[in-house]
Structure 1
Amino acid sequence: MLLKQMKYFMSVVDNHSFTEAAEQCYISQSAISQQIKSLENEFGVHLIKRNNRQFSLTPAGEYFYRHGRELIDEIEHFKNETKRRGTDEELTLKIGYLRCYGAQELQHAIAQFASLYPEVSLSIMNGTHEELYNLLRFHDVDLVISDQRRAFNQDYFNYELLYSDCYVEISTHHPLSEKKTLTLNDLKRVSCILISTKEQQDTEKDYYQNTLGFSSPFLFAETLEEARLMIASNRGFLPIEAIGTLTEPVQGIKRIPLYHKDKQLQRNYCAFWKKERTNYYIEEFAELLRQLLNADC
Structure 2
Amino acid sequence: MNFTQLKCFIKAVDNSSFTIAAERLNFSQSAVSKNIKDLENTVGVTLINRAHHRISLTNAGRYFYHVARNVVDDMDYTVAYLQNQKNNTETLLRVGVCDTPLEQKVLPIFLRKLRKSDSELNVQFVFVLKNSIGELLNHHVDVCIIARDDVDIVPDVQFESLISGHFVVACPEDSALAKKELVTLNDLRDKNIFLIDPNSSLNVQIQYQNLLIQDMGTQNVKFVQDYMTMDIYVKAGWGYGILPNFIADYQANGASYIPVDYHEISPYGVAYMDSFNNKAVLEKISKALKSAIREVVPLKNKS
TM-score category of the 2 structures, normalised to the smaller one: 0.5 to 0.7
Name the counterpart of 2:269. 270
Worse overlay, 160-169 or 236-245: 236-245
Change (3 A) 1:246 1:113: same
Name the counterpart of 1:160. 161
Partners of 1:123 and 1:89 in 2: CA distance: 16
1 or 2, which has the higher helix percentage?
2
Amino acid at match of 1:275: D
TM-score by length of 1: 0.54
CA deviation map 1:203-260 (0-9, x unaligned):
85454114785644242233x4343112212344333445599543412x23222113
SS in 1 for 2:102: coil
Amino acid at match of 2:87: E
Change (3 A) 1:214 1:220: farther
Aligned residues of 1:166 and 1:239 also touching (Cα < 8 A): yes
Name the counterpart of 2:93. 93
Partners of 1:132 and 1:109 in 2: CA distance: 20
Change (3 A) 1:259 1:126: farther
Structure 2 stretches of 5 or more lacking a match? 1-81
Partners of 1:212 and 1:278 in 2: CA distance: 42
Change (3 A) 1:292 1:180: closer
Name the counterpart of 2:288. 288
Partners of 2:108 and 2:277 in 1: CA distance: 22
If you compute each CA radius of gyration, which structure gives the higher value, 1 or 2? 1
Change (3 A) 1:282 1:144: same
Partners of 2:177 and 2:260 in 1: CA distance: 12
Shift of 1:141: 1.8
Aligned residues of 1:93 and 1:282 also touching (Cα < 8 A): no
Partners of 2:92 and 2:209 in 1: CA distance: 34
Partners of 1:165 and 1:203 in 2: CA distance: 11
Partners of 2:181 and 2:288 in 1: CA distance: 34
Partners of 2:201 and 2:243 in 1: CA distance: 18
Alignment of 1:148-297 (within 5 A): 148-149=148-149, 151=152, 153-164=154-165, 166-172=167-173, 176-177=177-178, 179-189=180-190, 190-194=192-196, 198=199, 204-210=205-211, 215=216, 216=218, 217-222=221-226, 224-243=227-246, 247-251=250-254, 253-260=255-262, 265=264, 267-279=266-278, 280-293=280-293
Amino acid at match of 1:219: F
Amino acid at match of 1:248: Q
Change (3 A) 1:157 1:249: same
Change (3 A) 1:87 1:96: closer
Shift of 1:152: 6.2
Change (3 A) 1:105 1:203: closer
Aligned residues of 2:167 and 2:260 also touching (Cα < 8 A): yes
Change (3 A) 1:185 1:97: farther
TM-score by length of 2: 0.53
Aligned residues of 2:250 and 2:257 also touching (Cα < 8 A): no
> Aligned pair count?
206
Aligned residues of 1:164 and 1:242 also touching (Cα < 8 A): yes
Partners of 1:102 and 1:199 in 2: CA distance: 17
Structure 1 stretches of 5 or more lacking a match? 1-83
Aligned residues of 2:96 and 2:143 also touching (Cα < 8 A): yes
Partners of 1:188 and 1:126 in 2: CA distance: 35
Partners of 1:257 and 1:158 in 2: CA distance: 24
Amino acid at match of 1:194: I
How high is the sequence identity, in percent, across the aligned residues?
A: 13
Amino acid at match of 1:258: V
Change (3 A) 1:185 1:207: same
Amino acid at match of 2:275: E
SS in 2 for 1:182: coil
Change (3 A) 1:230 1:126: farther
Aligned residues of 1:93 and 1:120 also touching (Cα < 8 A): yes
Partners of 2:202 and 2:266 in 1: CA distance: 20
SS in 2 for 1:186: helix
